[in-house]
Amino acid sequence: MVRLIRDSWAKAEPYLPEVTQFFYGMLFTLAPATRDFFPINMEVQRNRMVRALVHVVQMVDQPDDLVPFLRQLGRDHRKFGVIPKHYEAIGTALLAAMRSQLGPDWTPDVERAWAEAFTIIARQMQEAAAADTNPPNWSAMVAEHRRLSWDLAMVRIEPDEPIPFHAGQYLSVEVPQRPRLWRYLSPANAPRPDGSLEFHVRAVDGGWVSRAIVSHTQKGDIWRFGPPLGRLSVDRESDRDVLLVAGGTGVAPMQSLLDELAQWGENPKVRLFYGGRTREDLYALEGLRLLASCNPWLTVTPVIESGPGVAGCEMGTLPDVVTKHGAWPGRDVLVSGSPAMIRATVSRMLVAGTALDQIRYDPFTID
């Protein structure tokens, strides 16, 4: 089944714009209400949903990774008001879009493979959504917005009611400046008694949401959040030490985990490699070093690619520096950063001899 799916997708991928256009046209015809799930300007959405659907379908032979992710995704999609008939329309539209481009290559066996894979996916998502007793989304008010640099901002929000997240998780966020353009952000703190959350957001090129948050967020804005997602965590009861690898604002979930660990006197030994292109990218370094000075279980190593360094830093890319120290046997490894940074780091660590089951990261590439 997976071979048929991957082979047929390889033939259709060069025609992704046509597949995408057909998919949305069919979806909005079959289920007009789904149009409200997407931004007014569909150009912003582009090929995002189709790529995500295909990526998930191609993972159908990796149940240990796929099932937990699908169940989280099913809970997350409750924020849109997705109901079972919408899944049916999405599946029908996806298969029809593929058929429209593959022509004679869309054989009965290929169609059966795609249909079976999508059925597995939809069932997992629907079961998780039906079992979730939490609200489908939460509202929160911006209590503070502060520019940390020209392209980086700290935003502190206060939800109407506490969001039940765990340290290291992330949330989908909708801001008033970009309605229906949901994006994932990681709190940089562990759960607090007052329920407040702190986010660190960098404006990226072409980032409609990130640039709006950095430049236009105001105190009093109302943000909307989907349910918590993600599997980054530290097991304090384990006898395994921990390696954290964070690039740029990917340090936020690591800060959340460290914030939680700092509540305890004894913890596994934690080594954090925190990297950026230049010293200016390591905006959280001083706070992390202060935390390490008070907690002997924590060691923080800054990593800088170019330009002037800082005391105790190592020069190079994160994959180079981390693997220079070996394969890290016996450690739980957590990686967070841009999709490219995660791919490069995980790939290099596997080549260096780190076992795949040691490494955890969250799939931010999937929307």
Fold match, 138-229 / 241-360 = no
Share of the chain above pLDDT 70, in %: 96
For residues 227 and 82, give the distance between their C-alpha atoms in angstroms, rounded to a whole number: 14
For residues 335 and 254, give the distance between their C-alpha atoms in angstroms, rounded to a whole number: 9
Residue with tokens 């060691």: 299
User: Strand 241-247 vs strand 270-276: parallel, antiparallel, or unpaired?
Assistant: parallel
What pLDDT sits at residue 365? 46
For residues 280 and 296, give the distance between their C-alpha atoms in angstroms, rounded to a whole number: 26
Going from N- to C-terminal start, the domains of the chain cover 1-131, 138-229, 241-360
Please state the pTM of the whole predicted model: 0.82
User: What CATH superfamily is the domain 138-229?
Assistant: Translation factors (2.40.30.10)
Q: pLDDT tens digits, residue range 33-89?
A: 999 888 776 766 666 677 677 777 777 777 777 888 888 888 888 888 888 899 999
Q: pLDDT tens digits, residue range 192-223?
A: 999 999 999 999 887 889 999 999 999 999 99
| Nearest partner of 59 among 105, 133, 103, 9, judged by Cα | 9
Where residue 123 falls among pLDDT bands split at 50, 70, 90? Answer: very high
For residues 347 and 343, give the distance between their C-alpha atoms in angstroms, rounded to a whole number: 6
Instruction: Show the tokens assigned to 292.
Output: 């390490």
Angle between helix 63-76 and helix 108-131 axes, rounded to 10 deg: 60
Are 226 and 171 within 8 A, CB to CB?
Answer: yes
Q: Which CATH number fits domain 1-131: 3.50.50.60, 3.30.1180.20, 1.10.357.10, 1.10.490.10?
A: 1.10.490.10
Q: Which CATH number fits domain 241-360: 1.20.1250.20, 3.40.50.80, 3.30.460.80, 1.20.1070.10?
A: 3.40.50.80
111-124 average pLDDT score: 92
Please state, rounded to an integer, the average pLDDT across all residues of the chain: 91
Q: pLDDT tens digits, residue range 160-188?
A: 999 999 999 999 999 999 988 888 999 99
Indicate whether 364 pLDDT > 60: no
For the chain, percent helix, then strand, then coil, each to nearest 5? 45, 20, 35
Alpha-carbon torsion (358, 364, 365, 367), positive or negative: positive
Helix (H, G, I), strand (E, B) or coil at 156: strand
Give the least confident one: 39-43, 121-125, 340-344. Answer: 39-43
Report residue 182: phi and psi, to 5°.
Answer: -75, 135
| Nearest partner of 136 among 181, 81, 184, 180, judged by Cα | 81
What pLDDT sits at residue 46? 64
Residue 298 β-bridge partners: 270
Indicate whether 1 pLDDT > 60: yes
